Structure 1
Amino acid sequence: MSESTLFVVSTPIGNLEDMTPRAIEVLKQVSVIAAEDTRHSRKLLNHFGIETPMIPCHEHNERHQAEVLLARLQQGDSVALISDAGTPLISDPGFVLVRTVREQGVKVVPVPGACALVAALSVSGLPTDRFYFEGFLPAKSSGRKKKLESLGVMTNTWAVYESTHRILDSLADFREVLGADRYIVLAREMTKTFETVIAGTVEEVEKILQEDSNQCRGEFVVLVEGAAVQEEETVDPDTAKLLKRLLQELPAKKAAAVIADVSGYRKKQLYDLSLTMK
Protein backbone atom coordinates (compact mmCIF):
# COMPACT_ATOMS: atom_id res chain seq x y z
CA MET A 1 0.00 0.00 0.00
CA SER A 2 1.60 3.21 -1.19
CA GLU A 3 -0.40 5.76 0.81
CA SER A 4 -0.55 5.93 4.60
CA THR A 5 -4.10 4.98 5.49
CA LEU A 6 -6.09 3.95 8.54
CA PHE A 7 -8.57 1.28 7.49
CA VAL A 8 -11.60 0.76 9.75
CA VAL A 9 -12.34 -2.90 9.05
CA SER A 10 -15.55 -4.71 9.93
CA THR A 11 -15.24 -8.35 10.96
CA PRO A 12 -17.90 -11.08 11.42
CA ILE A 13 -20.23 -10.95 14.42
CA GLY A 14 -20.60 -14.72 14.41
CA ASN A 15 -20.63 -16.38 11.01
CA LEU A 16 -17.09 -16.35 9.58
CA GLU A 17 -18.50 -16.47 6.05
CA ASP A 18 -19.52 -12.83 6.53
CA MET A 19 -15.85 -11.81 6.31
CA THR A 20 -15.51 -9.94 3.01
CA PRO A 21 -12.71 -10.65 0.52
CA ARG A 22 -11.75 -6.98 0.69
CA ALA A 23 -11.41 -7.12 4.48
CA ILE A 24 -9.14 -10.17 4.23
CA GLU A 25 -6.96 -8.49 1.60
CA VAL A 26 -6.65 -5.25 3.59
CA LEU A 27 -5.70 -7.09 6.78
CA LYS A 28 -3.03 -9.02 4.88
CA GLN A 29 -1.51 -5.91 3.29
CA VAL A 30 -1.42 -3.35 6.12
CA SER A 31 1.69 -2.88 8.25
CA VAL A 32 -0.07 -3.50 11.55
CA ILE A 33 -3.52 -4.34 12.90
CA ALA A 34 -4.87 -2.47 15.93
CA ALA A 35 -7.15 -4.98 17.67
CA GLU A 36 -9.49 -4.56 20.63
CA ASP A 37 -8.32 -7.93 22.00
CA THR A 38 -5.33 -9.48 20.22
CA ARG A 39 -5.94 -12.93 21.73
CA HIS A 40 -9.53 -12.94 20.49
CA SER A 41 -8.62 -11.63 17.03
CA ARG A 42 -5.74 -14.08 16.61
CA LYS A 43 -8.27 -16.88 16.04
CA LEU A 44 -9.89 -14.86 13.25
CA LEU A 45 -6.58 -14.02 11.59
CA ASN A 46 -5.38 -17.63 11.81
CA HIS A 47 -8.60 -18.83 10.17
CA PHE A 48 -7.96 -16.63 7.13
CA GLY A 49 -4.19 -17.09 7.02
CA ILE A 50 -3.45 -13.49 7.96
CA GLU A 51 0.03 -13.08 9.46
CA THR A 52 0.09 -9.29 9.92
CA PRO A 53 1.33 -8.29 13.40
CA MET A 54 -1.19 -6.91 15.89
CA ILE A 55 -1.06 -4.41 18.72
CA PRO A 56 -3.80 -3.93 21.35
CA CYS A 57 -6.03 -0.87 21.07
CA HIS A 58 -8.89 -0.86 23.57
CA GLU A 59 -10.77 1.55 25.83
CA HIS A 60 -8.05 1.52 28.50
CA ASN A 61 -5.05 2.34 26.26
CA GLU A 62 -6.58 3.98 23.19
CA ARG A 63 -5.30 7.50 23.82
CA HIS A 64 -1.72 6.29 24.11
CA GLN A 65 -2.02 3.89 21.18
CA ALA A 66 -3.56 6.59 19.02
CA GLU A 67 -0.33 8.58 19.28
CA VAL A 68 1.78 5.48 18.61
CA LEU A 69 -0.25 4.55 15.55
CA LEU A 70 -0.32 8.13 14.30
CA ALA A 71 3.48 8.18 14.38
CA ARG A 72 3.61 5.00 12.33
CA LEU A 73 1.12 6.38 9.82
CA GLN A 74 3.14 9.55 9.48
CA GLN A 75 6.21 7.41 8.77
CA GLY A 76 4.43 5.73 5.87
CA ASP A 77 2.85 2.66 7.47
CA SER A 78 -0.74 1.61 6.89
CA VAL A 79 -2.92 0.49 9.80
CA ALA A 80 -6.15 -1.52 10.13
CA LEU A 81 -8.47 -1.09 13.11
CA ILE A 82 -10.66 -4.04 14.13
CA SER A 83 -12.87 -4.74 17.13
CA ASP A 84 -13.70 -8.12 18.65
CA ALA A 85 -16.66 -8.42 16.29
CA GLY A 86 -18.61 -6.26 13.89
CA THR A 87 -17.91 -2.67 12.91
CA PRO A 88 -15.39 -0.73 15.03
CA LEU A 89 -16.68 2.35 16.92
CA ILE A 90 -20.28 1.02 17.08
CA SER A 91 -20.37 0.58 20.89
CA ASP A 92 -16.69 -0.37 20.55
CA PRO A 93 -13.36 1.50 20.86
CA GLY A 94 -11.89 3.47 17.97
CA PHE A 95 -13.30 6.99 18.18
CA VAL A 96 -10.16 8.47 19.73
CA LEU A 97 -7.91 6.84 17.15
CA VAL A 98 -10.01 7.90 14.17
CA ARG A 99 -10.38 11.46 15.43
CA THR A 100 -6.66 11.75 16.19
CA VAL A 101 -5.46 10.64 12.77
CA ARG A 102 -8.12 12.57 10.86
CA GLU A 103 -7.15 15.78 12.63
CA GLN A 104 -3.60 15.23 11.38
CA GLY A 105 -4.74 14.84 7.79
CA VAL A 106 -4.27 11.08 7.56
CA LYS A 107 -6.62 9.25 5.21
CA VAL A 108 -9.28 7.09 6.92
CA VAL A 109 -11.09 4.45 4.84
CA PRO A 110 -14.02 2.23 5.89
CA VAL A 111 -14.10 -1.43 4.93
CA PRO A 112 -17.80 -2.18 5.53
CA GLY A 113 -19.19 -5.43 6.80
CA ALA A 114 -21.18 -6.97 9.62
CA CYS A 115 -22.90 -4.86 12.29
CA ALA A 116 -25.33 -6.38 14.81
CA LEU A 117 -27.44 -3.21 14.94
CA VAL A 118 -27.97 -2.99 11.18
CA ALA A 119 -28.52 -6.74 10.86
CA ALA A 120 -31.21 -6.63 13.55
CA LEU A 121 -32.91 -3.57 12.06
CA SER A 122 -33.08 -5.22 8.64
CA VAL A 123 -35.16 -8.15 9.93
CA SER A 124 -37.14 -6.37 12.65
CA GLY A 125 -40.14 -5.33 10.59
CA LEU A 126 -40.01 -1.94 12.31
CA PRO A 127 -39.80 1.40 10.45
CA THR A 128 -36.17 2.18 9.62
CA ASP A 129 -36.44 5.41 7.65
CA ARG A 130 -35.44 7.06 10.96
CA PHE A 131 -33.96 5.29 13.95
CA TYR A 132 -31.94 6.05 17.06
CA PHE A 133 -29.22 3.89 18.62
CA GLU A 134 -28.50 4.28 22.34
CA GLY A 135 -25.83 1.59 22.75
CA PHE A 136 -25.82 -0.13 26.13
CA LEU A 137 -28.28 1.01 28.80
CA PRO A 138 -27.01 1.81 32.33
CA ALA A 139 -26.22 -1.28 34.40
CA LYS A 140 -28.29 -0.21 37.43
CA SER A 141 -32.08 -0.27 37.30
CA SER A 142 -32.49 3.33 38.51
CA GLY A 143 -30.27 4.70 35.76
CA ARG A 144 -31.83 2.39 33.21
CA LYS A 145 -35.37 3.55 34.03
CA LYS A 146 -34.33 7.19 33.78
CA LYS A 147 -32.83 6.59 30.35
CA LEU A 148 -35.89 4.64 29.22
CA GLU A 149 -38.14 7.54 30.20
CA SER A 150 -36.35 9.80 27.72
CA LEU A 151 -36.17 7.14 25.01
CA GLY A 152 -39.79 6.13 25.47
CA VAL A 153 -41.25 9.35 24.07
CA MET A 154 -39.39 9.05 20.77
CA THR A 155 -41.71 8.47 17.84
CA ASN A 156 -39.06 6.75 15.69
CA THR A 157 -37.68 3.22 16.09
CA TRP A 158 -34.85 2.99 18.61
CA ALA A 159 -32.45 0.27 19.67
CA VAL A 160 -30.13 -0.74 22.49
CA TYR A 161 -27.62 -3.52 23.09
CA GLU A 162 -28.07 -5.75 26.12
CA SER A 163 -26.15 -8.60 27.71
CA THR A 164 -27.09 -12.05 28.96
CA HIS A 165 -26.98 -11.28 32.67
CA ARG A 166 -29.16 -8.15 32.41
CA ILE A 167 -31.74 -8.96 29.75
CA LEU A 168 -34.57 -10.05 32.09
CA ASP A 169 -34.01 -7.14 34.48
CA SER A 170 -34.02 -4.77 31.52
CA LEU A 171 -37.26 -6.17 30.15
CA ALA A 172 -38.86 -5.72 33.57
CA ASP A 173 -37.83 -2.06 33.46
CA PHE A 174 -39.12 -1.78 29.88
CA ARG A 175 -42.50 -3.05 31.09
CA GLU A 176 -42.60 -0.61 34.00
CA VAL A 177 -41.52 2.47 32.06
CA LEU A 178 -42.82 1.86 28.52
CA GLY A 179 -45.83 -0.26 29.41
CA ALA A 180 -46.54 -3.94 28.88
CA ASP A 181 -48.07 -3.33 25.44
CA ARG A 182 -45.16 -1.53 23.76
CA TYR A 183 -44.07 -3.52 20.69
CA ILE A 184 -40.45 -4.65 20.68
CA VAL A 185 -38.19 -6.98 18.71
CA LEU A 186 -35.48 -9.00 20.44
CA ALA A 187 -32.65 -10.08 18.13
CA ARG A 188 -30.38 -12.61 19.83
CA GLU A 189 -27.02 -14.01 18.70
CA MET A 190 -27.20 -12.47 15.22
CA THR A 191 -25.59 -14.66 12.49
CA LYS A 192 -24.61 -17.29 15.09
CA THR A 193 -25.84 -20.87 15.46
CA PHE A 194 -28.67 -20.02 17.86
CA GLU A 195 -29.80 -16.80 16.20
CA THR A 196 -33.35 -15.92 17.28
CA VAL A 197 -35.63 -12.98 16.50
CA ILE A 198 -38.63 -12.61 18.81
CA ALA A 199 -41.29 -9.95 18.21
CA GLY A 200 -44.28 -8.94 20.32
CA THR A 201 -45.30 -6.77 23.21
CA VAL A 202 -42.86 -6.30 26.09
CA GLU A 203 -45.02 -8.59 28.19
CA GLU A 204 -45.12 -11.33 25.52
CA VAL A 205 -41.37 -11.24 24.89
CA GLU A 206 -40.58 -11.18 28.61
CA LYS A 207 -42.80 -14.25 29.15
CA ILE A 208 -41.01 -16.19 26.39
CA LEU A 209 -37.64 -15.56 28.03
CA GLN A 210 -38.94 -16.39 31.49
CA GLU A 211 -40.24 -19.74 30.25
CA ASP A 212 -37.14 -20.67 28.23
CA SER A 213 -33.80 -19.90 29.87
CA ASN A 214 -31.98 -20.69 26.61
CA GLN A 215 -33.51 -17.53 25.14
CA CYS A 216 -31.72 -15.50 27.82
CA ARG A 217 -28.28 -16.51 26.61
CA GLY A 218 -26.08 -14.57 24.24
CA GLU A 219 -25.87 -11.00 23.00
CA PHE A 220 -29.01 -9.00 22.31
CA VAL A 221 -30.19 -6.12 20.18
CA VAL A 222 -33.47 -4.78 21.56
CA LEU A 223 -35.47 -2.75 19.04
CA VAL A 224 -38.43 -0.69 20.19
CA GLU A 225 -41.31 0.70 18.17
CA GLY A 226 -41.61 4.45 18.51
CA ALA A 227 -44.33 6.06 20.59
CA ALA A 228 -47.56 6.90 18.82
CA VAL A 229 -47.63 10.40 17.36
CA GLN A 230 -50.15 12.48 19.28
CA GLU A 231 -52.58 14.24 16.98
CA GLU A 232 -52.74 17.94 17.84
CA GLU A 233 -56.28 19.12 18.36
CA THR A 234 -57.23 21.82 15.89
CA VAL A 235 -58.37 25.14 17.36
CA ASP A 236 -61.89 25.92 16.17
CA PRO A 237 -62.34 28.96 13.89
CA ASP A 238 -64.20 31.11 16.46
CA THR A 239 -61.50 30.64 19.10
CA ALA A 240 -58.77 31.33 16.55
CA LYS A 241 -60.58 34.52 15.49
CA LEU A 242 -60.88 35.64 19.11
CA LEU A 243 -57.17 34.96 19.71
CA LYS A 244 -56.24 36.98 16.62
CA ARG A 245 -58.29 39.92 17.85
CA LEU A 246 -56.80 39.74 21.34
CA LEU A 247 -53.28 39.75 19.90
CA GLN A 248 -53.92 43.31 18.76
CA GLU A 249 -54.10 44.34 22.43
CA LEU A 250 -51.89 41.85 24.33
CA PRO A 251 -48.56 40.06 24.01
CA ALA A 252 -48.76 36.52 22.63
CA LYS A 253 -48.18 34.79 25.99
CA LYS A 254 -50.84 36.84 27.75
CA ALA A 255 -53.36 36.45 24.94
CA ALA A 256 -52.80 32.66 24.89
CA ALA A 257 -53.24 32.48 28.68
CA VAL A 258 -56.52 34.43 28.58
CA ILE A 259 -58.00 32.29 25.79
CA ALA A 260 -56.80 29.09 27.51
CA ASP A 261 -58.70 30.07 30.67
CA VAL A 262 -62.01 30.42 28.88
CA SER A 263 -61.72 27.87 26.05
CA GLY A 264 -60.15 24.73 27.51
CA TYR A 265 -57.38 24.63 24.91
CA ARG A 266 -53.80 24.25 26.11
CA LYS A 267 -51.91 27.49 26.58
CA LYS A 268 -48.88 26.20 24.65
CA GLN A 269 -51.06 25.20 21.70
CA LEU A 270 -52.62 28.67 21.63
CA TYR A 271 -49.26 30.36 22.05
CA ASP A 272 -47.82 28.40 19.10
CA LEU A 273 -50.83 29.38 17.04
CA SER A 274 -50.43 33.03 18.02
CA LEU A 275 -46.86 33.02 16.73
CA THR A 276 -48.07 31.96 13.30
CA MET A 277 -50.64 34.75 13.36
CA LYS A 278 -48.05 37.40 14.15
Structure 2
Amino acid sequence: MSASSASLSLLQAAATAAGAQQYPAATLYVVASPIGNLADFSLRAVHALSLVNAVACEDTRVTAGLLRHLGLDKPLIAVHEHNEQSATEKVLARLAQGERVAYLSDAGTPAVSDPGAVLAHLVRAAGHRVLPLPGPSAVVTALSAAGCVSAAGPGFHFAGFLPAKGQDRETGLQAALAQPCPTVLFEAPHRIESLADRLAELAPDRPVTVCRELTKQFEQIDTLPALQLPAWFAADAQRRKGEFALVLHAPAPARVDDPGLPPEVERALRVLTRDLPLKQAVALASELTGAPRNALYEQALAWRQAAQQTGDDEDAAG
Protein backbone atom coordinates (compact mmCIF):
# COMPACT_ATOMS: atom_id res chain seq x y z
CA MET A 1 0.00 0.00 0.00
CA SER A 2 1.37 3.43 -0.93
CA ALA A 3 1.84 6.19 1.63
CA SER A 4 -1.03 8.18 0.14
CA SER A 5 -3.33 5.15 0.24
CA ALA A 6 -2.37 4.46 3.84
CA SER A 7 -3.10 8.07 4.81
CA LEU A 8 -6.46 7.92 3.08
CA SER A 9 -7.33 4.70 4.88
CA LEU A 10 -6.36 6.28 8.19
CA LEU A 11 -8.53 9.35 7.55
CA GLN A 12 -11.44 7.11 6.55
CA ALA A 13 -11.03 5.03 9.70
CA ALA A 14 -10.90 8.20 11.78
CA ALA A 15 -14.07 9.54 10.15
CA THR A 16 -15.86 6.25 10.77
CA ALA A 17 -14.78 6.09 14.42
CA ALA A 18 -15.20 9.74 15.38
CA GLY A 19 -17.34 11.38 12.71
CA ALA A 20 -20.63 11.03 14.57
CA GLN A 21 -19.58 13.51 17.26
CA GLN A 22 -20.20 17.21 16.77
CA TYR A 23 -17.26 19.48 15.97
CA PRO A 24 -18.56 23.02 16.50
CA ALA A 25 -17.32 25.97 14.49
CA ALA A 26 -15.57 28.99 16.05
CA THR A 27 -13.80 26.60 18.42
CA LEU A 28 -10.19 26.05 19.47
CA TYR A 29 -9.38 22.33 19.55
CA VAL A 30 -6.56 21.63 22.01
CA VAL A 31 -5.08 18.40 20.66
CA ALA A 32 -2.74 16.06 22.52
CA SER A 33 -0.08 14.75 20.14
CA PRO A 34 2.22 11.70 20.41
CA ILE A 35 5.13 11.93 22.83
CA GLY A 36 7.18 9.64 20.64
CA ASN A 37 5.16 6.92 18.95
CA LEU A 38 2.94 8.21 16.12
CA ALA A 39 0.65 5.21 16.54
CA ASP A 40 -0.54 6.71 19.85
CA PHE A 41 -2.41 9.51 18.05
CA SER A 42 -6.14 9.01 18.54
CA LEU A 43 -8.57 8.59 15.66
CA ARG A 44 -10.64 11.42 17.09
CA ALA A 45 -7.63 13.74 16.97
CA VAL A 46 -6.92 12.70 13.38
CA HIS A 47 -10.51 13.40 12.38
CA ALA A 48 -10.56 16.78 14.13
CA LEU A 49 -7.38 17.82 12.32
CA SER A 50 -8.97 16.87 9.02
CA LEU A 51 -11.85 19.27 9.77
CA VAL A 52 -10.05 22.35 11.11
CA ASN A 53 -9.32 25.35 8.92
CA ALA A 54 -5.89 26.01 10.44
CA VAL A 55 -3.46 24.54 12.93
CA ALA A 56 -1.69 26.64 15.54
CA CYS A 57 1.38 24.93 16.91
CA GLU A 58 4.49 25.25 19.04
CA ASP A 59 6.88 24.43 16.17
CA THR A 60 5.65 24.54 12.58
CA ARG A 61 8.37 22.10 11.45
CA VAL A 62 7.31 19.43 13.94
CA THR A 63 3.60 19.81 13.22
CA ALA A 64 4.11 19.96 9.46
CA GLY A 65 5.79 16.56 9.67
CA LEU A 66 2.90 15.14 11.68
CA LEU A 67 0.35 16.47 9.20
CA ARG A 68 2.30 15.01 6.27
CA HIS A 69 2.26 11.64 8.04
CA LEU A 70 -1.53 11.94 8.22
CA GLY A 71 -1.86 13.07 4.62
CA LEU A 72 -3.13 16.51 5.62
CA ASP A 73 -2.15 20.00 4.50
CA LYS A 74 -3.32 22.90 6.68
CA PRO A 75 -2.23 26.52 7.18
CA LEU A 76 0.09 26.71 10.19
CA ILE A 77 0.30 29.44 12.83
CA ALA A 78 3.36 29.48 15.10
CA VAL A 79 2.26 29.91 18.74
CA HIS A 80 5.10 29.28 21.18
CA GLU A 81 6.31 30.52 24.57
CA HIS A 82 7.96 33.62 23.10
CA ASN A 83 4.98 34.90 21.08
CA GLU A 84 1.92 33.24 22.62
CA GLN A 85 0.27 36.51 23.62
CA SER A 86 0.68 38.24 20.23
CA ALA A 87 0.12 35.16 18.06
CA THR A 88 -3.21 34.55 19.76
CA GLU A 89 -4.61 37.49 17.77
CA LYS A 90 -4.24 35.47 14.56
CA VAL A 91 -6.14 32.59 16.10
CA LEU A 92 -8.88 34.87 17.44
CA ALA A 93 -9.32 36.46 14.01
CA ARG A 94 -10.00 33.05 12.48
CA LEU A 95 -12.35 32.02 15.27
CA ALA A 96 -14.27 35.29 14.84
CA GLN A 97 -14.92 34.24 11.24
CA GLY A 98 -16.41 30.95 12.43
CA GLU A 99 -13.39 28.81 11.63
CA ARG A 100 -12.15 25.80 13.57
CA VAL A 101 -8.53 26.02 14.76
CA ALA A 102 -6.47 23.26 16.37
CA TYR A 103 -3.54 23.79 18.72
CA LEU A 104 -0.70 21.27 19.14
CA SER A 105 2.49 21.49 21.16
CA ASP A 106 5.52 19.52 19.97
CA ALA A 107 4.62 16.45 22.02
CA GLY A 108 2.02 15.50 24.59
CA THR A 109 -0.83 17.57 25.96
CA PRO A 110 -0.60 21.34 25.39
CA ALA A 111 -0.51 23.70 28.38
CA VAL A 112 1.13 21.07 30.63
CA SER A 113 4.78 22.17 30.79
CA ASP A 114 4.20 23.29 27.19
CA PRO A 115 2.71 26.41 25.58
CA GLY A 116 -1.05 26.61 25.18
CA ALA A 117 -2.36 27.86 28.52
CA VAL A 118 -2.26 31.54 27.52
CA LEU A 119 -3.89 30.76 24.18
CA ALA A 120 -6.70 28.75 25.76
CA HIS A 121 -7.31 31.45 28.37
CA LEU A 122 -7.49 34.28 25.85
CA VAL A 123 -9.71 32.32 23.47
CA ARG A 124 -12.14 31.55 26.26
CA ALA A 125 -12.03 35.18 27.45
CA ALA A 126 -12.98 36.27 23.94
CA GLY A 127 -16.14 34.18 24.15
CA HIS A 128 -15.09 31.21 22.02
CA ARG A 129 -15.15 27.55 22.96
CA VAL A 130 -12.05 25.58 23.90
CA LEU A 131 -12.52 21.88 23.26
CA PRO A 132 -9.83 19.46 24.56
CA LEU A 133 -8.99 16.27 22.69
CA PRO A 134 -7.15 14.14 25.28
CA GLY A 135 -4.34 11.79 24.48
CA PRO A 136 -0.66 11.15 25.19
CA SER A 137 0.87 12.67 28.33
CA ALA A 138 4.35 11.95 29.65
CA VAL A 139 3.09 12.64 33.18
CA VAL A 140 0.47 9.92 33.39
CA THR A 141 2.50 7.56 31.19
CA ALA A 142 5.39 7.72 33.66
CA LEU A 143 3.10 7.30 36.66
CA SER A 144 1.37 4.29 35.13
CA ALA A 145 4.72 2.53 34.76
CA ALA A 146 6.00 3.57 38.20
CA GLY A 147 3.07 1.88 39.93
CA CYS A 148 3.25 4.11 42.99
CA VAL A 149 -0.06 6.00 42.98
CA SER A 150 -2.63 4.30 45.19
CA ALA A 151 -6.36 4.78 44.81
CA ALA A 152 -6.49 5.33 48.58
CA GLY A 153 -3.49 7.65 48.63
CA PRO A 154 -3.10 11.42 48.30
CA GLY A 155 -2.73 11.41 44.50
CA PHE A 156 0.38 12.82 42.87
CA HIS A 157 2.21 16.10 42.35
CA PHE A 158 3.49 17.39 39.01
CA ALA A 159 6.53 19.64 39.29
CA GLY A 160 7.46 19.77 35.59
CA PHE A 161 10.89 21.16 34.78
CA LEU A 162 12.90 22.49 37.71
CA PRO A 163 14.55 25.91 37.29
CA ALA A 164 17.77 25.57 35.32
CA LYS A 165 20.24 26.63 38.00
CA GLY A 166 20.99 28.42 41.23
CA GLN A 167 18.98 28.67 44.40
CA ASP A 168 15.68 28.51 42.51
CA ARG A 169 16.60 25.04 41.28
CA GLU A 170 17.57 23.87 44.77
CA THR A 171 14.37 25.29 46.24
CA GLY A 172 12.28 23.58 43.59
CA LEU A 173 13.95 20.24 44.19
CA GLN A 174 13.54 20.53 47.97
CA ALA A 175 9.84 21.31 47.47
CA ALA A 176 9.43 18.27 45.22
CA LEU A 177 11.06 16.00 47.78
CA ALA A 178 8.86 17.41 50.54
CA GLN A 179 5.64 16.35 48.82
CA PRO A 180 3.82 13.55 50.70
CA CYS A 181 2.84 11.91 47.41
CA PRO A 182 4.61 10.72 44.24
CA THR A 183 6.07 13.63 42.25
CA VAL A 184 6.80 13.79 38.51
CA LEU A 185 9.77 15.80 37.27
CA PHE A 186 10.88 16.49 33.71
CA GLU A 187 14.57 17.01 32.98
CA ALA A 188 16.77 17.86 30.00
CA PRO A 189 19.61 15.49 29.07
CA HIS A 190 22.35 18.02 29.83
CA ARG A 191 21.12 18.37 33.42
CA ILE A 192 20.05 14.81 34.19
CA GLU A 193 23.34 13.75 35.80
CA SER A 194 23.50 16.74 38.13
CA LEU A 195 19.90 16.03 39.17
CA ALA A 196 20.78 12.39 39.81
CA ASP A 197 23.74 13.43 41.96
CA ARG A 198 21.63 15.79 44.03
CA LEU A 199 18.83 13.27 44.53
CA ALA A 200 21.40 10.73 45.72
CA GLU A 201 22.63 13.25 48.29
CA LEU A 202 19.26 14.48 49.53
CA ALA A 203 17.11 11.33 49.47
CA PRO A 204 19.35 8.25 49.03
CA ASP A 205 16.67 5.75 50.05
CA ARG A 206 13.82 7.26 48.00
CA PRO A 207 12.76 5.03 45.08
CA VAL A 208 12.88 6.86 41.75
CA THR A 209 11.42 5.61 38.47
CA VAL A 210 13.49 6.87 35.55
CA CYS A 211 11.58 7.04 32.26
CA ARG A 212 13.73 7.78 29.22
CA GLU A 213 12.39 8.23 25.68
CA LEU A 214 8.86 7.17 26.64
CA THR A 215 6.99 5.29 23.86
CA LYS A 216 9.97 5.54 21.49
CA GLN A 217 12.01 2.68 20.04
CA PHE A 218 14.73 2.82 22.71
CA GLU A 219 12.45 3.51 25.67
CA GLN A 220 13.90 2.73 29.10
CA ILE A 221 12.03 2.51 32.39
CA ASP A 222 13.77 1.51 35.59
CA THR A 223 13.09 1.96 39.31
CA LEU A 224 15.94 2.17 41.80
CA PRO A 225 16.93 3.97 45.02
CA ALA A 226 18.12 7.51 44.42
CA LEU A 227 21.53 6.55 45.82
CA GLN A 228 22.08 4.32 42.77
CA LEU A 229 21.09 6.91 40.17
CA PRO A 230 24.59 8.35 39.48
CA ALA A 231 26.01 4.86 38.87
CA TRP A 232 23.02 3.93 36.69
CA PHE A 233 23.63 6.88 34.38
CA ALA A 234 27.40 6.40 34.40
CA ALA A 235 27.09 2.75 33.37
CA ASP A 236 25.89 3.53 29.84
CA ALA A 237 26.31 6.78 27.89
CA GLN A 238 23.02 6.12 26.06
CA ARG A 239 21.17 6.45 29.36
CA ARG A 240 22.10 10.15 29.46
CA LYS A 241 20.49 10.92 26.11
CA GLY A 242 16.89 11.69 25.19
CA GLU A 243 13.92 13.07 27.10
CA PHE A 244 13.39 12.23 30.76
CA ALA A 245 10.46 11.96 33.14
CA LEU A 246 11.34 11.00 36.71
CA VAL A 247 8.86 9.81 39.29
CA LEU A 248 9.95 10.43 42.88
CA HIS A 249 8.01 7.86 44.87
CA ALA A 250 6.29 9.07 48.02
CA PRO A 251 8.35 9.28 51.21
CA ALA A 252 8.18 6.24 53.46
CA PRO A 253 5.22 6.46 55.86
CA ALA A 254 5.84 7.39 59.47
CA ARG A 255 6.71 4.53 61.82
CA VAL A 256 3.83 3.22 63.92
CA ASP A 257 5.80 3.94 67.08
CA ASP A 258 6.72 7.47 65.99
CA PRO A 259 5.77 9.79 68.90
CA GLY A 260 5.38 12.75 66.54
CA LEU A 261 1.62 13.19 67.12
CA PRO A 262 0.33 14.13 70.58
CA PRO A 263 -1.61 11.32 72.32
CA GLU A 264 -4.91 13.20 72.16
CA VAL A 265 -4.52 13.70 68.41
CA GLU A 266 -3.74 10.01 67.91
CA ARG A 267 -6.82 9.03 69.94
CA ALA A 268 -9.05 11.24 67.78
CA LEU A 269 -7.49 9.89 64.59
CA ARG A 270 -7.95 6.27 65.70
CA VAL A 271 -11.63 6.82 66.44
CA LEU A 272 -12.23 8.53 63.11
CA THR A 273 -10.30 6.00 61.00
CA ARG A 274 -12.27 3.20 62.62
CA ASP A 275 -15.54 4.35 61.06
CA LEU A 276 -14.62 6.65 58.15
CA PRO A 277 -12.66 6.39 54.88
CA LEU A 278 -9.02 7.35 55.37
CA LYS A 279 -9.10 10.67 53.51
CA GLN A 280 -12.29 11.80 55.26
CA ALA A 281 -10.96 10.75 58.67
CA VAL A 282 -7.71 12.67 58.12
CA ALA A 283 -9.51 15.81 56.97
CA LEU A 284 -11.86 15.75 59.96
CA ALA A 285 -9.06 15.01 62.44
CA SER A 286 -7.05 17.93 61.06
CA GLU A 287 -10.05 20.24 61.41
CA LEU A 288 -10.76 19.11 64.98
CA THR A 289 -7.19 19.06 66.32
CA GLY A 290 -5.30 21.51 64.13
CA ALA A 291 -2.67 18.86 63.33
CA PRO A 292 -1.19 18.95 59.81
CA ARG A 293 -2.90 16.68 57.31
CA ASN A 294 0.36 15.24 56.02
CA ALA A 295 1.38 13.95 59.44
CA LEU A 296 -2.11 12.60 60.12
CA TYR A 297 -2.25 10.86 56.76
CA GLU A 298 1.18 9.26 57.24
CA GLN A 299 0.21 8.00 60.69
CA ALA A 300 -3.13 6.60 59.54
CA LEU A 301 -1.49 4.95 56.54
CA ALA A 302 1.17 3.41 58.80
CA TRP A 303 -1.54 1.95 61.05
CA ARG A 304 -3.35 0.51 58.04
CA GLN A 305 -0.17 -1.04 56.63
CA ALA A 306 0.73 -2.49 60.01
CA ALA A 307 -2.75 -4.00 60.34
CA GLN A 308 -2.52 -5.48 56.85
CA GLN A 309 0.91 -6.91 57.62
CA THR A 310 -0.40 -8.48 60.82
CA GLY A 311 -3.27 -10.01 58.88
CA ASP A 312 -0.91 -11.40 56.26
CA ASP A 313 1.30 -12.90 58.99
CA GLU A 314 -1.70 -14.52 60.65
CA ASP A 315 -2.89 -15.94 57.31
CA ALA A 316 0.57 -17.40 56.67
CA ALA A 317 0.68 -18.91 60.17
CA GLY A 318 -2.76 -20.41 59.72
Using the size of structure 2 for normalisation, the TM-score is: 0.71
Cα deviation digits, residues 61-103 of structure 1 (max 9, x gap) = 1101112211221221111000111111111001111000111
Hey, what's the Cα distance between the residues in 2 that align with 1:272 and 1:6? 45
Q: Provide the rounded CA distance (Å) in 1 between the counterparts of 2:222 and 2:261.
A: 39
Alignment equivalent of 1:78, drawn from 100, 106, 114: 100
* Structure 2 counterpart of 1:170, one-letter code: L
- In structure 2, the partner of 1:61 is 83
**Residue 25 of structure 2 aligns with which residue?**
3
Higher share in helix: 2
1:102 is matched with which residue?
124
How far apart in 1 are the matches of 2:263 and 2:141?
A: 47
Equivalent residues of 2:197, 2:230 under 8 A apart: yes
The unaligned stretches of length 5 or more in structure 1 are 241-270, 274-278
> In structure 1, how many angstroms separate the alpha carbons of the residues matched to 2:207 and 2:160?
19
Q: Is 1:90 matched up with 2:112? A: yes
Question: Would the aligned equivalents of 1:11 and 1:86 in 2 still touch at CA under 8 Å?
Answer: yes
Aligned to 2:228: 204
- C-alpha displacement of 1:213: 1.0
Q: Is the 8 A contact 2:201 2:227 kept in 1?
A: no
Q: Which structure 2 residue ranges, 5 or more long, are not aligned?
A: 1-22, 268-288, 292-318
2:211 to 169, 172, 187: 187
Q: Conserved in 2, the CA contact under 8 Å of 1:155 and 1:226?
A: yes
Which has more radius of gyration?
A: 1
- 1:5-84 to 2 correspondences below 5 Å: 5-84=27-106
Q: Return the alpha-carbon distance in structure 2 between the equivalents of residues 111 and 202 of structure 1.
A: 36
1:188-237 alpha-carbon deviations (Å, 9 max, x no partner)? 10000110001010122321111111111100001001223445545458
Q: Is the 8 A contact 1:153 1:226 kept in 2?
A: no
State the one-letter code of the partner of 2:89.
E
Alignment match, 1:213: 237
% identical equivalent positions: 38
Return the TM-score normalized by structure 1. 0.81
Match of 1:159 among 163, 169, 184: 184
* Alpha-carbon RMSD: 1.9
Alignment size in residue pairs: 240
- Distance change in 2, residues 1:236/1:207 (3 Å): same
Q: 1:32 to 1:209 in 2, by over 3 A?
A: same
**Greater relative contact order (CA < 8 Å, ≥ 6 in sequence):** 1
What letter matches 2:239 in structure 1? Answer: Q
Report the 3-state secondary structure (helix = DSSP H, G, I; strand = E; otherwise coil) of the residue aligned with 2:127. coil
Matches for 1:108-123 after TM superposition, within 5 Å? 108-123=130-145
